[in-house]
Structures are given as structure tokens and as C-alpha cells.
Amino acid sequence: MDLVINILFGLIVAFFLINKFMPVKGVKQISTSDLKKELKRKDVQFIDVRTPGEFSRNKINTFKNIPLHELSQKGSQLSKEKEVVVICQSGMRSNKATKLLRKMGFQKITNVKGGMSAWN
């Protein structure tokens, strides 16, 4: 009986961990090399969800800083008609941001895999 409970508990934990780190359905994933091509586009909103301190130390000029913890309040500043490209330091916060943007009704969302760590 204990073995069954331990297996079930392990499966539940694994499910939640996998679900947390999986890309959001319907969100495009691009590499930093793909991002270099995208930066020339004028019809895209580029959002960096790192803290202001992180952003000021190392940034891509095309990106606007909206920290993840402020995205739900400041998301109204973004157009739902335009694509949103999101970056952070490693890809974790930007993945969370894509989930939040989906819940807010955004349809065209792109996450930069590896974030600024992969950019440098």
C-alpha cells in the first residue's frame, strides 16, 4: 500500500513539475539567433520581464521593460492585435509571462528560449 501511495505521489509531483516548465500551448518558441532576425520587425512588441536592475545592466534596446510582477497591471499598455515577444534571463519568467498573457487574451505570443543568458 505504501508503495502505491509513493508511486502516485511521485507521479503527481512529476506532472506538476513537467506542467510548470512546459512551453505554453499556442506560444511560439524561438532561439536567440531567430530573435536577431525578428528585431527588425516594426509590427511586434518586445517585452523584457526581468527586474529593472537586471534590465539596466544588460538589455536589448528594442525591448521595453515590464517586470513579470507588473505585467498583469501594465498588460493593458500592450496591443492585443500585435505579436508580443517576451524575454527574461533564462526563459523561466518569460514562460510564466506567456501563460499570463494568454489568460489576458493575447493570441500572438513568442517566447525567447534561453533568454538573455543565451543572447550573450
- By annotation, the residues acting in catalysis are 88
Q: What angle do CA 90, 92, 98 make, to 5 degrees?
A: 120
Task: Write the CB contacts of 101 (distance below 8 Å, at least 6 apart in sequence).
Answer: 71, 75, 84, 86, 109
Cell of 109: 505570443
